[in-house]
A and B are shown apart, each in its own frame.
Chain A
Amino acid sequence: MNRGQKNFKLRRTGSAAYNLAYTGVSSQLQTRMRTAKDAHSFASEISMKRMGIVCCSVLTLVLLAVPLLAQQSPATASAATTSASASSSEVSPAVTDKLTQLEQKVTAAQSSADNAWMLVSAALVLMMTGPGLALFYGGLVRQKNVLAIMMQSFALMALITVLWALVGYSLCFGGSGPFIGNFQMALLRGVGAIPNADYAATIPQSTFMVYQLMFAIITPALITGATAERMKFSGTVLFMILWFLVVYAPMAHMVWGKGGFLNASLGGRFPTLDFAGGTVVHVTSGVSALVCALYLGKRVGYPRQPMPPHSLVLSFTGACLLWVGWFGFNAGSALASNGLASSAFVATHFGAATAAIGWCVAEWFKNGRASALGAISGAVAGLVAITPAAGFVAPMPALGIGFIAGLFCFWMVTKFKGIFGYDDALDAFGVHGAGGTIGALLTGVCAQAVINPIFGDGKAVGGLDGHWGQVGNQLVGVLTAWVLALVGTIIILKVVDVTVGLRVTEEHEVEGLDITQHGEEGYNLEV
């Protein structure tokens, strides 16, 4: 009953949107995430079947309960009448002309709407790195290292941008090879106002390009959580450049690029569902973070000497900015301002909420108190885990994924790390590696065609649809990310170690990286 009603609503709103926005738009809308059009037709098929059973009661309920729908019904009806009369009578050239004009205007209107949302999303994702992540990490380090960790995030905002313009975008999204892009769009050749129909048919390719750039910026920035308080700035810069080229670019192409062997909608062998970067962003950065922590070794004095966060106020502010920015990250990954974006927005928010609760509940049981650091760490863990799932799961599974991620990452950070004794200073692996991995696997379980029929109309998507094989595909995607990150990072660390060096001297580490690496201090509060 409830479900029937839901499907019915979906159908009605879906068809209204179709009439308004999609008439006349050519069928080239094959973005990496299917658009509302697909969702509409699939949802309507299901609801047609159920309609026979629950038709009358649902209709009464909907009309009574949802005034909005009642308002839409006449509009839909009149649109239907118009098209019926147009097809039955003679069509004069003037009418055809007008229709063509109308089609163009509708296309332009949709493009404007999508572009507006995507530009905002791109800005939101940049906000996640600076100030979001910079504040989050900045508060967690000791006072003497606050600028150094913030500077690493900021440097990446500049560095990766230049790399992206030169070759990065092309290596991720050029060509259609299985493992990595090509140089076809190097120096952003041909990237302008015309959409790239393979990826996002309704927005200028410049928008798509700059949106994807923001992902490439935050991903390496996440790793700095593991290397915090002991890695040289010069070593960090070289490491990040190489890491972007060797690990990020291939992984992004394999999952999101046309022909990539993990791509779910553009001809991949093992279609991996990764809506906004569970594997591409979080597993790669998290696993690389673990490798870095092991290779660099522990900080001087760890774990004997207390190293409490110097300002949880900064971390708290940063985490809240991350939460808000994540709406651009996940809902923006619909690459359009459509129903799928709303669905991803909701899932993202729900996942963050239950993960914060999960972490706090675990703390409450263990320590007798819920902490602010626990709540924000949990929220970030939930946002990580819901990232691959956002555009595939319904709100209820999103609540579940978040809660599981909150508990699992709590265990990873408080227990697992202690057992193995590695010094992942700010828990980049415990939150991003662990959260990304469990999120990617749970995506295979919880993805539903009702939300996103990515494999075609009527085809099952995830385990809840009965397609348990998808969990296997997800496993292939996760393993690929793990192996690429492990091998790539070890090689890069070796190269950087023998060239510019990785770790600061012990004296410099004790004095603090702000002074020794940058010649300044975060706080000069005394007169």
Chain B
Amino acid sequence: MMKIEAIIQPSRFESVKDALLEIGIEGMTVTEVRGHGRQKGHTEVYRGREYTVDLLPKVKLELVLPDQLVNRAVDAILKSAKTGKIGDGKIFLSRVEEAIRIRNEERGESAL
């Protein structure tokens, strides 16, 4: 089992979701987050006072998948989230020890 954490542009979220659905992935956790990598922020001006906004809105997706689905999911995210500009985000992969479904206490991949 692997966990995929993908931080993407909010504007790409709908197409990422659709791409994942297409390869049969139905469950995910989505959070609205703020942050920046190399992109840095932008400047806002209120009555002549300039503010640099460093932290930009992003969307974070978290999915835990059986190993055989991970590569296809990563491909789907890469294709659908890419605009080619700075600020497109990142994907992090990590191994997951265990998964437990709360309803019936199923364990392992069948709990996903």
Residue positions of A touching B, CB distance < 8 A: 303, 306, 308-309, 366-367, 369, 371, 373-374, 377, 410, 413-415, 417-418, 427
Contact = CB atoms under 8 A, between A and B. Distances in A.
B69 to A, nearest CB: 33
B49 A303 contact: yes
Nearest to A413: B47
A415 B48 contact: yes
Contacts of B44: 308
B86 interface: no
A418 B53 CA distance: 21
Contacts of A303: 49
20 contacts: A303-B49, A306-B51, A306-B52, A308-B44, A308-B46, A308-B51, A309-B46, A366-B48, A369-B45, A371-B45, A371-B46, A373-B47, A374-B47, A413-B48, A414-B47, A414-B48, A415-B48, A417-B48, A418-B48, A427-B47
Most buried by A among B46, B48, B51, B53: B48
The interface residues of chain A, by DSSP majority, are classed as helix
Interface in B42-65: 44-49, 51-53
Nearest to B54: A306
Most buried by B among A308, A366, A377, A417: A308
Contact of A367 (B45, B51, B52, B53): B45
Contacts of A308: 44, 46, 51
A366 B45 CA distance: 11
A373 B53 CA distance: 18
Nearest to A306: B51
Nearest to A417: B48
The 4 lowest CB-CB distance pairs between A and B, nearest first, are: A414-B48, A306-B51, A413-B47, A308-B51
Most buried by A among B46, B47, B49, B53: B47
A377 B47 contact: yes
Nearest to A426: B47
A410 B47 CA distance: 8
Interface in B18-44: 44
A34 B49 CA distance: 45
A314 B54 CA distance: 24
A78 to B, nearest CB: 59
B46 A373 contact: yes
A374 B48 CA distance: 9
A309 B46 CA distance: 8
A366 B44 CA distance: 14
Given A306-B53, A414-B49, 4 more contacts: A306-B51, A306-B52, A367-B45, A410-B48
Interface string B72-101: 000000000000000000000000000000
Contacts of A418: 48
Contacts of A427: 47
A366 B48 CA distance: 9
A371 B45 CA distance: 9
Contacts of A371: 45-46
A410 B51 CA distance: 18
